[in-house]
Structure 1
């Protein structure tokens, strides 16, 4: 796996983890935190928990699958990414001259309020 793909995967797992962490078992949470957040190697995690590297790998792979299954069913990350794109587009409208001057401030206030609801 190339460095770019690995970073992309790590970012995705971290985002999925942020949405679905509480739905994982304690062990899944711990292993994912060590591996993706704290950048521990499989060997370091294995030594910490006195299990094989293969067992750690299996736990991490299974936890990744669980996160992806939750995302496939609930779509929280996809919805978040869509909202983020829409907010970015909304933020550009006043700068693009798409709004009349009297409405620009009110428009910006509404967008700010919507973002706070996140």
Structure 2
């Protein structure tokens, strides 16, 4: 569950501007502020089920955006390459640095 929450938080960071204000609000309350479905529904004057359905649909939308745009995947790959670059710099491994630079250029 923690893995899913982390992924959704990252996807939300990348794609929140593509969501409606209501979708953003529900996702912020549920994932970032850790509100329960009941707390969100009380504050929004809608049923708990309506909040749940909206959050699930929004999660599906975020996954669809990621499938098409791959911003989060590229972010993860860049971070991994930066970690490898740090290790190569510490070891002064010029060949490894060249490989990493090629990989970074291929990401774009």
TM-score w.r.t. the length of structure 2 is 0.84
Distance across 2 between alignment mates of 1:60 and 1:28: 7
Picking from 3, 7, 11, the partner of 2:2 is 7
Runs of 4+ in structure 1 deviating by more than 3 angstroms, as ranges, are: none
Structure 2: which 5+ runs fail to align? Answer: none
Distance across 2 between alignment mates of 1:93 and 1:66: 38
Q: Does 1:73 align with 2:49?
A: no
Q: Does 1:23 align with 2:3?
A: no
Distance across 2 between alignment mates of 1:18 and 1:84: 16
Distance across 2 between alignment mates of 1:89 and 1:58: 41
Q: CA deviation at 1:50?
A: 1.1
Q: Does 1:93 align with 2:88?
A: yes
- CA-atom RMSD in angstroms: 1.7
TM-score w.r.t. the length of structure 1 is 0.77
Larger Rg: 1
Q: Does 1:44 align with 2:39?
A: yes
Matched residue pairs, number? 97
Q: CA deviation at 1:52?
A: 0.8
